Amino acid sequence: MSSAPSTNPDDAPSNAADNGAASGRRNTAALLTRGLMRFQSDLGLVCLSEFTLRSGRRADLMCLDPKGGLTVVEIKSSVEDFRNDQKWPDYLDYCDRFYFAVPESFPQQLIPADQGLLVADAYGATLIREAEARPLNAARRKSVTRRFAQLAARRLTTLLDPEGFSAPL
Protein backbone atom coordinates (compact mmCIF):
# COMPACT_ATOMS: atom_id res chain seq x y z
CA MET A 1 0.00 0.00 0.00
CA SER A 2 1.54 3.35 -1.04
CA SER A 3 0.64 6.80 0.09
CA ALA A 4 0.88 10.12 -1.69
CA PRO A 5 4.15 12.00 -1.25
CA SER A 6 4.22 14.44 1.62
CA THR A 7 3.95 18.13 0.82
CA ASN A 8 5.44 19.05 4.18
CA PRO A 9 8.93 20.55 3.54
CA ASP A 10 10.13 19.05 6.83
CA ASP A 11 9.55 15.56 5.36
CA ALA A 12 11.85 16.13 2.37
CA PRO A 13 15.16 14.27 2.16
CA SER A 14 17.89 16.17 3.97
CA ASN A 15 20.36 15.75 1.11
CA ALA A 16 18.12 17.26 -1.59
CA ALA A 17 19.98 20.05 -3.40
CA ASP A 18 17.30 22.72 -2.91
CA ASN A 19 16.51 21.88 0.71
CA GLY A 20 18.35 22.75 3.85
CA ALA A 21 19.63 26.22 4.57
CA ALA A 22 18.56 27.86 1.30
CA SER A 23 15.01 26.55 1.57
CA GLY A 24 14.82 27.59 5.21
CA ARG A 25 15.99 31.11 4.34
CA ARG A 26 13.33 31.40 1.61
CA ASN A 27 10.63 30.27 4.02
CA THR A 28 11.84 32.67 6.72
CA ALA A 29 12.00 35.52 4.21
CA ALA A 30 8.44 34.79 3.05
CA LEU A 31 7.15 34.90 6.62
CA LEU A 32 9.07 38.09 7.37
CA THR A 33 7.69 39.64 4.18
CA ARG A 34 4.15 38.99 5.40
CA GLY A 35 4.83 40.55 8.80
CA LEU A 36 6.59 43.54 7.25
CA MET A 37 3.71 44.17 4.85
CA ARG A 38 1.30 44.13 7.80
CA PHE A 39 3.54 46.55 9.71
CA GLN A 40 3.84 48.94 6.76
CA SER A 41 0.09 48.74 6.12
CA ASP A 42 -0.59 49.75 9.72
CA LEU A 43 1.53 52.86 9.02
CA GLY A 44 -0.46 53.69 5.88
CA LEU A 45 2.03 52.37 3.32
CA VAL A 46 1.32 49.95 0.49
CA CYS A 47 3.99 47.44 -0.53
CA LEU A 48 5.07 45.28 -3.41
CA SER A 49 7.42 42.38 -2.84
CA GLU A 50 10.18 41.42 -5.27
CA PHE A 51 10.17 44.84 -6.95
CA THR A 52 12.62 44.98 -9.87
CA LEU A 53 14.37 48.30 -10.24
CA ARG A 54 15.59 49.78 -13.54
CA SER A 55 19.10 48.78 -12.49
CA GLY A 56 18.00 45.14 -12.61
CA ARG A 57 18.31 44.73 -8.85
CA ARG A 58 15.28 43.34 -7.06
CA ALA A 59 14.19 44.94 -3.79
CA ASP A 60 12.55 42.58 -1.29
CA LEU A 61 9.90 45.21 -0.49
CA MET A 62 9.15 48.54 -2.13
CA CYS A 63 6.70 50.61 -0.11
CA LEU A 64 4.82 53.75 -1.08
CA ASP A 65 3.46 56.14 1.53
CA PRO A 66 0.40 58.41 1.11
CA LYS A 67 2.61 61.41 0.26
CA GLY A 68 4.54 59.55 -2.43
CA GLY A 69 7.57 58.63 -0.32
CA LEU A 70 9.37 55.44 -1.33
CA THR A 71 10.88 52.99 1.14
CA VAL A 72 12.94 49.90 0.35
CA VAL A 73 13.12 47.08 2.91
CA GLU A 74 15.90 44.55 2.48
CA ILE A 75 15.13 41.30 4.31
CA LYS A 76 18.04 39.38 5.81
CA SER A 77 16.87 36.04 7.13
CA SER A 78 20.25 34.91 8.47
CA VAL A 79 23.82 36.03 9.08
CA GLU A 80 24.89 33.99 6.05
CA ASP A 81 22.31 35.81 3.90
CA PHE A 82 23.60 39.17 5.13
CA ARG A 83 27.26 38.32 4.55
CA ASN A 84 26.71 36.78 1.09
CA ASP A 85 24.51 39.56 -0.29
CA GLN A 86 26.02 43.02 -0.20
CA LYS A 87 23.94 44.54 -3.03
CA TRP A 88 21.98 46.77 -0.67
CA PRO A 89 23.90 50.03 -1.40
CA ASP A 90 22.54 49.80 -4.97
CA TYR A 91 19.00 50.29 -3.61
CA LEU A 92 19.73 53.67 -2.03
CA ASP A 93 19.34 55.48 -5.38
CA TYR A 94 15.72 54.27 -5.67
CA CYS A 95 14.18 55.19 -2.33
CA ASP A 96 13.74 57.97 0.20
CA ARG A 97 14.30 55.58 3.11
CA PHE A 98 16.07 52.24 3.40
CA TYR A 99 15.63 49.59 6.10
CA PHE A 100 17.08 46.22 6.85
CA ALA A 101 14.57 43.77 8.31
CA VAL A 102 15.77 40.80 10.32
CA PRO A 103 14.28 38.09 12.55
CA GLU A 104 14.55 38.50 16.31
CA SER A 105 17.39 35.97 16.50
CA PHE A 106 19.60 37.99 14.11
CA PRO A 107 22.61 39.74 15.74
CA GLN A 108 21.56 43.35 15.18
CA GLN A 109 25.08 44.73 15.65
CA LEU A 110 25.94 43.39 12.17
CA ILE A 111 23.57 45.87 10.51
CA PRO A 112 25.28 49.14 9.50
CA ALA A 113 24.49 51.77 12.15
CA ASP A 114 23.60 54.39 9.53
CA GLN A 115 20.73 52.30 8.08
CA GLY A 116 17.18 51.76 9.32
CA LEU A 117 16.42 48.55 11.17
CA LEU A 118 13.23 46.55 11.69
CA VAL A 119 12.85 43.31 13.61
CA ALA A 120 10.08 41.25 12.10
CA ASP A 121 8.20 38.00 12.33
CA ALA A 122 5.27 36.56 10.38
CA TYR A 123 2.77 38.81 12.13
CA GLY A 124 4.38 42.23 12.29
CA ALA A 125 7.53 44.20 12.95
CA THR A 126 9.12 46.55 15.43
CA LEU A 127 11.03 49.67 14.48
CA ILE A 128 14.46 49.49 16.11
CA ARG A 129 16.20 52.30 14.26
CA GLU A 130 14.68 54.96 11.99
CA ALA A 131 16.05 55.21 8.46
CA GLU A 132 17.79 58.36 7.33
CA ALA A 133 15.68 60.40 4.91
CA ARG A 134 17.36 60.72 1.51
CA PRO A 135 14.87 62.50 -0.76
CA LEU A 136 14.84 61.28 -4.35
CA ASN A 137 15.01 63.76 -7.21
CA ALA A 138 11.70 64.37 -8.99
CA ALA A 139 12.52 62.45 -12.18
CA ARG A 140 13.62 59.30 -10.31
CA ARG A 141 10.57 59.50 -8.00
CA LYS A 142 8.24 59.74 -11.01
CA SER A 143 9.92 56.80 -12.72
CA VAL A 144 9.86 54.52 -9.66
CA THR A 145 6.30 55.50 -8.73
CA ARG A 146 5.07 54.82 -12.27
CA ARG A 147 6.80 51.43 -12.25
CA PHE A 148 5.21 50.70 -8.85
CA ALA A 149 1.74 51.48 -10.23
CA GLN A 150 2.27 49.41 -13.36
CA LEU A 151 3.53 46.40 -11.42
CA ALA A 152 0.66 46.63 -8.92
CA ALA A 153 -1.89 46.81 -11.75
CA ARG A 154 -0.23 43.92 -13.60
CA ARG A 155 -0.26 41.72 -10.50
CA LEU A 156 -3.92 42.51 -9.85
CA THR A 157 -4.84 41.81 -13.46
CA THR A 158 -2.96 38.51 -13.35
CA LEU A 159 -4.88 37.50 -10.22
CA LEU A 160 -8.18 38.27 -11.93
CA ASP A 161 -7.26 36.65 -15.26
CA PRO A 162 -4.14 34.48 -14.96
CA GLU A 163 -4.38 33.17 -18.52
CA GLY A 164 -5.18 36.45 -20.22
CA PHE A 165 -2.30 38.70 -19.23
CA SER A 166 1.31 37.71 -19.43
CA ALA A 167 3.35 40.71 -20.60
CA PRO A 168 6.47 41.16 -18.43
CA LEU A 169 7.30 44.35 -16.60
Number of domains in the chain: 1
Examine residue 18 and state whether it is found in any structural domain, yes or no: no
Which range, of 15-19, 39-43, 75-79, 134-138, averages the lowest pLDDT? 15-19
* Residue 40 counted as domain residue: yes
CB 37 within 8 A of CB 49: yes
Say what percent of the chain tops pLDDT 70: 82
Pairs from 136-144 (Cβ < 8 Å, separation ≥ 24): 136/70, 136/94, 136/95, 136/96, 140/93, 140/94, 141/68, 141/70, 143/54, 144/53, 144/62, 144/70, 144/94, 144/95
Q: Is residue 130 part of a domain?
A: yes
Single pTM value for the model: 0.82
Would 50 be classed as within a structural domain? yes
Domain that holds residue 153: 24-160
Is residue 165 one of the residues assigned to a domain?
no
Question: What's 76's domain CATH number?
Answer: 3.40.1350
Cα-Cα-Cα-Cα dihedral sign, residues 93, 65, 47, 30: positive
78, part of any domain: yes
The answer to whether residue 168 is domain-embedded is: no
